Structure formats: structure tokens, C-alpha cells
């Protein structure tokens, strides 16, 4: 696994910074977002460091997206939302604040759930 010294998500994937793990395998790590937009708000990341979608190799993207349905279903089972949004921010003007590729999985609970 490549590890970028000062990357917070590399440290989370390596277990050097604690996180609430949702799913993990050889290629990806999924964990609850620190600031829960809605209950069960989860991030899934590749273990291999890549800044954002522009710099992501196809094999890394493939492994990451391959696991999204599994994590979405784990969230569905655990939190019983009525829907779910996927979100991926690339570059600062688009809202990216951590520069290690991640996909937000945001469970939805209907009107007024905090993500309107």
C-alpha cells in the first residue's frame, strides 16, 4: 500500500488514526464521516493514495466502485434509510477538503434530514 506521510486518510486506512470502520478489504476502507451530514454518513476510499478522480488509475477506480454496492447495502441494513446519495468532490472549488480520493455515501431519511 502506498502511504503519503501527511495524508489523514492514508493514516486512517492504515489504522494510525482511529475511525469507525464500516468495511475493509485489501483495496478499500470505508468509515463513518466525522461530521455526520445524516446518520450513517460514510466515506469509502482506496487504500492506495490518489489525490482525486483526475489522478486515479482505472484499476484503483475499479476496485473502489466495485465495493460501493456492498457498503451501500451495509448502510441500508444498519440504518434503514429511505434512500442514499453518492457524492465525490474534486478540487477545492468543488468542495474537496481532504486530498485523498473518497466517495461520500449519504443515507437519506426524507424531507428535513439535513441534506436538503
In the bound state, the residue with its beta carbon closest to ligand 5GP is 34
- The span from the CA of 113 to the CA of 116, in Å, is 7
10 contact, one of Zn ion, ligand 5GP, none, CB 5-8 Å limit per kind:
Zn ion
**49 in contact with Zn ion (CB under 5 A):** yes
68 contact, one of ligand 5GP, Zn ion, none, CB 5-8 Å limit per kind:
none
- The span from the CA of 98 to the CA of 73, in Å, is 25
Q: Which of 22, 100, 101, 103 binds Zn ion (CB under 5 A)?
A: 100
Active site residues: 102
Amino acid at each position: 500500500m502506498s502511504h503519503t506521510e501527511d495524508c489523514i486518510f492514508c493514516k486512517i486506512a492504515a489504522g494510525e488514526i482511529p475511525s469507525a470502520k464500516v468495511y475493509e478489504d485489501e483495496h478499500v476502507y470505508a468509515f463513518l464521516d466525522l461530521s455526520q451530514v445524516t446518520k450513517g454518513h460514510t466515506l469509502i476510499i482506496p487504500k492506495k493514495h490518489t489525490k482525486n478522480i483526475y489522478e486515479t488509475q482505472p484499476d484503483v477506480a475499479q476496485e473502489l466502485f466495485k465495493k460501493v454496492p456492498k457498503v451501500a447495502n451495509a448502510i441500508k441494513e444498519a440504518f434503514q434509510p429511505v434512500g442514499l446519495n453518492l457524492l465525490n468532490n474534486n478540487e477545492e472549488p468543488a468542495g474537496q477538503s481532504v486530498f485523498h480520493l473518497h466517495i461520500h455515501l449519504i443515507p437519506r431519511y426524507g424531507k428535513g434530514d439535513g441534506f436538503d
